[in-house]
Copies of this chain bind each other. A is one copy, B any other.
Amino acid sequence: MEKREDQILRAAVGIFGSRGYERTSLQDIADVVGVTKPALYYYFRDKDTLYARVVVEALRQLVDYVEARVSRHSEPEDRLREFLMSAATFLGEHRETWLLASGGFWSAATGDYREEALRLRDHFEGMLRDALAQAISAGALRSVDVALAGRLLLSGLNQMHRWHSPDGPLSVVEVADRYLDFVLNGLRAERPAAVSEPPAGARRARRARSPVK
């Protein structure tokens, strides 16, 4: 039989996930589990503590989901692509859990579960950075700051729930795939194949025109 604490946690993931922090009361959660409010307090000190525990649980589910899929690949670029595709798939299929993991992180990172929240976040971002660093070592990618490159891709994922509509032309997984294409291949036009190849330094020279101001 499922432990009472786990029952509460499972109910809380569902209710916080669908209504958000503000519109959820401990009474709502107690009602779903079928316990009294004082019984909740036996397991969780207050609403903030329960919420932080819920966010950590959501983060753990996200990390486990993505890690299981990334670990099937050995090529750095396949691992990089799998990270983004599986994170986007998780967002598409477990939207409420994604929102808890992504949006709740900043509040969970301040209380009782701070250490665990930071550890999971670092592990998640670490998978992305490692794949980028390995692709650089293998010579497939140029030597950029992997933390910054990872942040741009994660920012794209983290903002997606704000604007993406399930009725739109592209799924979240397709959007993540386009983002990865933009970042891997760049937006610069290439010369048409019929035109002779530009000299070897041409692209590098364009890049040199873009210094930090």
Contact = CB atoms under 8 A, between A and B. Distances in A.
A84 to B, nearest CB: 11
Contact of A204 (B159, B190, B213): B190
A1 interface: no
Contact of A155 (B148, B155, B197, B203): B155
A175 interface: yes
Interface in A147-169: 148-149, 151-152, 154-156, 158-160, 162-163
Interface string A49-91: 0000000000000000000000000000000010001000000
Given A158-B159, A159-B159, A213-B173, A184 B186 contact: yes
B174 A142 contact: no
A182 interface: yes
Interface residues of A, number: 55
Contact of A142 (B132, B177, B183, B187): B187
A191 interface: yes
B188 A141 contact: yes
28 contacts: A140-B188, A141-B189, A142-B187, A142-B189, A144-B182, A148-B175, A148-B178, A151-B163, A152-B152, A152-B183, A155-B155, A155-B156, A155-B158, A155-B159, A155-B160, A156-B156, A174-B212, A177-B213, A181-B210, A183-B183, A183-B186, A185-B206, A186-B186, A186-B187, A186-B188, A190-B204, A193-B200, A197-B200
